[in-house]
Amino acid sequence: MNLNYCIFRTEPIFTTSALAQIGAHNKREKKAYKSNPDIDISRSKDNIEIVPLTDKYVKGFYELTKEYKKQHDEKMKTERPDRQRTYKEMVDKSKNCVADEMIFTATHDFFNDMDEEEIKEWADTCMEFVYEDIGYSKEQVLHATVHMDEKTPHLHCVVVPLVKKFDKRSNMEKWTISKKYYMKDKLYLSELQDKYHERLISKGYELERGIKGSDVEHINIKDYKKITRKLEQNLIVRNDKLDQAMETFDNNMKKSKTIPFDKKHVVLEKDTLNSMNKVIDETKKIMELQPKLEQTFDELKNYTKSYNTLNNQNKKYEREIDMLRYREYQLEKENKRLQDYLKAILEAIKKFFRKMLKLGNEKTKEATASEIKAFYDNKKFDKDDIYDVSVKTTKEEELFDYADIPDYYKTKNKNYENKKDSFDISL
């Protein structure tokens, strides 16, 4: 007897452009789906709308979050010009997700001999789980639809976790988007998986709890190999370019040692400045690759666990499991090496920025402060980094204010006078 598994997974959506792409996919707004042979566009008319949305996803998002937008627009009226952002810029650059997509399905045989009404009843049970177990309200659901035009029916439910929370700093309630408010961590997500299984069983569906962390129904080993191989190649190219940029920068820095400077000014050769900017650019590109690398690494780990479980049912996967274990080990090792490398590069950049703030002329200091702010805005520097780079420089007050450095940080300055500057480097 074949066992049928219930499957529930969730994918955060971090930008409005990503939301638009998911909307175009879920609402079948493309004329053809050459990249996905599983979609039969001639059957898309049979897709079942559970929570309809006539508008585009992004327009629906703006309508759903209009109170949050009003709050943001009011705040921008009192912000300094250099810190003003549009609502779109704010939500796209925020650490919080813009929306969350939940996908519900089961192994293919579960849907055998089920008609449209029965599949809709199953989808309604999934939505009960969304409302009653996870805690989303109907107003927070942007769109929910069952795709009947693919190999296995499945429900896409996109929600906007918009909540009003008490803000201690302003001593008042404020709107924000927070997936963690509903799904605190991986442990809690596992508990939700249990609740989802229990709800389906209580409605008479004969399903086993899905394999934790798996997406067995949708994973294609050949396609996954291509993804990981392409990512590894991209990583190798980026590492090589960063190595070359660092070597050029080091050589130029050595040549620059003979350039005179006094306590108020520092003179850099054009080649040295250009090579420093090249190092920064290559570092940024690798940092942009990091989230994708970590996501792929997590998926690879989950994929390996899934096949470990399936191995008990079918021995033919043993060779694939060994391959996946090896790739997991290689990617984990490469990921650790890259993170250590990035940490070292960031420390070097911090030292360089601090030297510019201490010894550069006003124009150099202004340009350096702007670059430091950009690093902070892009989450490459935190408050500790801002403190280390700018403390006891002429830009200290400006950068402390920009990063909202707490008052208790500033008391550390009293002990900074007698300490050797750990970020002091010689050019």
Is residue 421 a part of any domain in this protein?
A: no
Report the alpha-carbon distance of residue 104 to residue 274 in Å, rounded: 51
CATH number, residue 131: 3.30.930.30
Question: Are residue 61 and residue 204 in the same domain, yes or no?
Answer: yes
93 & 205 share domain: yes
Which structure tokens are listed for 172? 């008042």
211 and 227 within one domain? no
Of 217, 237, 257, which residue sits at a domain end?
Answer: 217
Q: 109 and 71 in one domain?
A: yes
pLDDT at position 419 is 47
Same structural domain for residues 229 and 85? no
How many domains are there within the chain?
A: 2
Find all residues with CB under 8 Å of 172, minimum gap 6, and list them: 166
| Residue 233: per-residue pLDDT | 66
Q: Same structural domain for residues 118 and 200?
A: yes
**Residue 129 forms part of a structural domain:** yes
Task: Based on the fold, state whether residues 158 and 234 are members of the same structural domain.
Answer: no
**Domain that includes residue 404, residue range:** 222-415
Same-domain status, 66 and 162: yes
- 425 inside domain: no
Structure tokens at 63: 């309508």
pTM attached to this predicted model: 0.52
* Distance separating alpha carbons of residues 316 and 319, to the nearest angstrom: 7
Could you tell me if 121 and 48 lie in one domain? yes
**Residue 423 domain flag:** no
**Beta strands 5-13 and 208-209, pairing class:** parallel
Residues 211 and 227 occupy one common structural domain: no
pLDDT of residue 295: 62
What pLDDT is attached to residue 72? 92
pLDDT value for 324: 75
Last residue of a domain, one of 202, 217, 232: 217
Q: Give the CA count within 13 Å in the CB-facing half-sphere of 212.
A: 9
In this structure, is residue 427 part of a structural domain? no
420 within some domain: no
pLDDT of amino acid 32: 62
Whether 134 maps to a domain, the answer reads: yes
Residues 155 and 293 in one domain: no
3-class SS letters over the chain: CCCCEEEEEEEEECCHHHHHHHHHHHCCCCCCCCCCCCCCHHHHHHCEEEECCCCCHHHHHHHHCHHHHHHHHHHHCCCCHHHCCCHHHHHHHCCCCCEEEEEEEECHHHHCCCCHHHHHHHHHHHHHHHHHHHCCCHHHEEEEEEECCCCCCEEEEEECCEEEEEECCCCEEEEEECHHHCCCCHHHHHHHHHHHHHHHHHCCCCCEECCCCCCCCCCCHHHHHHHHHHHHHHHHHHHHHHHHHHHHHHHHHHHHHHCCCCCCCCCCCHHHHHHHHHHHHHHHHHHHHHHHHHHHHHHHHHHHHHHHHHCCCCHHHHHHHHHHHHHHHHHHHHHHHHHHHHHHHHHHHHHHHHHHHHHCCHHHHHHHHHHHHHHHHCCCCCHHHHHHHHCCCCCHHHHHHHCCCCHHHHHHHHHCCCCCCCCCCCC
In tens digits, the chain (427 residues) has pLDDT values of 456 778 888 999 999 999 999 999 999 887 665 556 778 888 889 999 999 999 999 999 999 999 999 999 999 998 888 889 999 999 998 878 999 999 999 888 889 889 999 999 999 999 999 999 999 999 999 999 999 998 899 999 999 999 998 887 778 889 999 999 998 887 888 889 889 999 999 888 888 765 454 444 444 455 555 556 656 666 666 666 766 766 776 676 666 554 454 555 455 556 666 776 776 776 766 666 666 666 666 666 665 655 555 555 555 555 666 777 777 778 788 778 878 877 888 888 888 889 889 888 888 899 899 989 988 888 888 888 899 899 989 999 899 989 888 877 666 555 554 444 554 444 3
| Domain end (from 198, 217, 236) | 217
Please, are residues 228 and 331 in contact by the beta-carbon 8 Å criterion? yes
Specify whether 210 is located in the same domain as 249. no
- Model pLDDT, residue 312: 52
Question: Is the residue at 167 inside a domain?
Answer: yes
CA distance 347 to 353: 10
